Amino acid sequence: MTHVRDMIGYGEAPPDPNWPGDAYLALQIVLNYEEGGENSPLYGDAASESYLSELVGIQPYVGQRNLNVESLYEYGSRAGFWRLWRLMTDRGLKLTVFGVASALAANPAAVAAMQHAGWEVASHGLRWIDYKDFARAEEEAHFKAALDLHRQVTGTLPLGWYTGRISEQTLDIVMDHGGLLYSSDSYCDDLPYFVERNDKRHLIVPYSLDANDMRFVSPQGFNSGDQFLSYLQDSFDFLYEEGRRGAPKMMSVGLHCRIAGRPGRTAALARFLDRVAEKPRVWITTRADIARHWHAAHPR
C-alpha cells in the first residue's frame, strides 16, 4: 500500500523552534466566534444546528428552527464573548479569533472589541456549517465570499484560515488561493509544519480538539470546571517540562463564546491562566505571530 499521508512528521528529533525570548513553550489561545453563522432554516439551511451546544446528542430539526439551540448560541455573542474578553484583556493577553465571517458581521461591537484588544482575527469560513459534501466550486465560492466579507467587517484580509468542518478539497482551495500566511485544519503535531502540493508550499499551524472547551458539550467530555482545569494544567506542565529539557513545543487551547463563556467554565479558565502567569519563559501569542516566526526561523 502506498501512503499518501505523512505518518512520520518530525519523528524522533523535532526541530528546536527557537521561540522568542528562548521560551520553553508557545501558548496559543483560540476563541471561536461562530454565533450567528450556524445552521438554521432562517438562513436558508435545510435543518437547524445540532453541533456543539449544551443539548448533547440532539438531532437537527429538518425544515424547522430550533429556538433552544439558537438561544444557546446567542448566549455566546450576547454574554459569553464579553466575559472572556474581560478575562483576557484584564490580563493583557493576546489571542487568535477564529471568526466566522457571517457571525462577525452580525456583531460589529464584538469585532471592534477584538481589534481594540489587538487580537488576531483569522477566518473561520463564511458559515459555521459542514462542508464535507460540498462540490469544490460551491466551497470555493464560500471561501472567496468569506474573505470578502471578512475584509468588509474587519477592514483587512485574514492572515489565517480554519474551516473546522472540512471537506477533502479544503486544503487545496486554501493553497490555491495563495494569499494566507497559514491555516490550521490539522491536529497532527505539536509544532507548525509545511505541506507541499503542486509546487506550492503552505504552513500549517496545528490546532487542538483535546485542550478544548468543546469537551464540555461532547460525549465523555468534561463535566466540571475542575476537569477542564486539570486537563489544561497537565497539558501545560508536561509540555513546559519538555521545553525545559530542550524540546520546546506549542500548546493550543480552544474556546467558544457560548461554552467557555459560561461563568463556571470561565472561572476554571481564569485559574489556569493564573497558573501560567507563575511560570517564566512562556510565549503567549497569536497564531499569526507563530506563523511569522516559523517562516523566518524555519523556512525549510
Rounded Cα gap, residues 219 and 230, in angstroms: 18
**162 near 122, Cβ under 8 Å?**
yes
Buried b (16+ CB within 10 A) or exposed e, 125-160: bbbbbebeebeeeebbebbeebbebbeebbeeebbb
Rounded Cα gap, residues 207 and 201, in angstroms: 19
Question: Residue 270 is inside which H or E element, if any?
Answer: helix 263-277
Rounded Cα gap, residues 276 and 151, in angstroms: 34
Residues 230-236, mean pLDDT to the nearest whole number = 98
**85 near 14, Cβ under 8 Å?**
no
Predicted confidence band at 162 (pLDDT cuts at 50, 70, 90)? very high
DSSP label of 47: B
Question: Is 7's pLDDT higher than 80?
Answer: yes
Return the SS3 of 101.
Answer: helix
The average confidence (pLDDT) of the chain is 96
Question: Cβ of 33: how many Cβ atoms within 10 Å?
Answer: 29
Question: Is 120's pLDDT higher than 60?
Answer: yes
- The predicted pLDDT at position 156 comes to 97
Per the document, the length of the chain is 300
Question: Is 300's pLDDT higher than 80?
Answer: no
- The predicted pLDDT at position 131 comes to 97
Which single residue is written with the C-alpha cell 461554552?
259
Q: What is the pLDDT of residues 184-198, one digit of tens each?
A: 999 999 999 999 988
Which single residue is written with the C-alpha cell 501545560?
236
Residues 57-72, mean pLDDT to the nearest whole number = 95
How do 182-183 and 249-256 pair as beta strands? unpaired
Residues 12-25, mean pLDDT to the nearest whole number = 96
E-strand stretches of 16-76: 25-33
Rounded Cα gap, residues 282 and 264, in angstroms: 26
DSSP label of 26: E
- The predicted pLDDT at position 178 comes to 80
Q: What is the pLDDT of residues 242-272, one digit of tens each?
A: 999 999 999 999 999 999 999 999 999 999 9
- The predicted pLDDT at position 199 comes to 86
Helices 108-116 and 81-90 meet at what angle, rounded to 10? 10
Question: Is 3's pLDDT higher than 70?
Answer: no
Q: What is the pLDDT of residues 273-293, one digit of tens each?
A: 999 999 999 999 999 999 999
As a three-state string, the secondary structure of 190-227 is: CCCEEEEECCEEEEECCCCCCCEHHHHHCCCCCCCHHH
